[in-house]
Amino acid sequence: MLEVAVRDAAATVRAFVAGAPAASVALAADGNIHRLFGTDTLPDSYLIARDGRMVGRFRGAQSWASAEVRARLRREVERARRGRPRSC
């Protein structure tokens, strides 16, 4: 999973993800990256397959430690592995 920070300073992002599981974070200083994914809500989280296709999307803030959200994430990953991602 790639996390994208929109218009946030690098120090702010580092403080936010400190202590979190290993994450890849891209800084989008101009704030336009969300348009590439066709969204107008923030935060949005995208599950991207190795070939670059978006295979899952989580709109809005998520409680990533909750059983419900983690179960959905596992389902989305499994669908993508089987070659049947949900249309996003």
Please give the pLDDT value at position 1: 62
Distance CA 32, CA 82 (A): 32
Give the pLDDT confidence of 49-62 residue by residue, as tens digits: 878 888 888 888 88
β-pairing, 24-28 vs 2-6, is parallel
Domain residue spans in the chain?
2-81
In this prediction the pTM is: 0.58
**Roughly how many angstroms between the first and final C-alpha of the chain, as a whole number?**
15
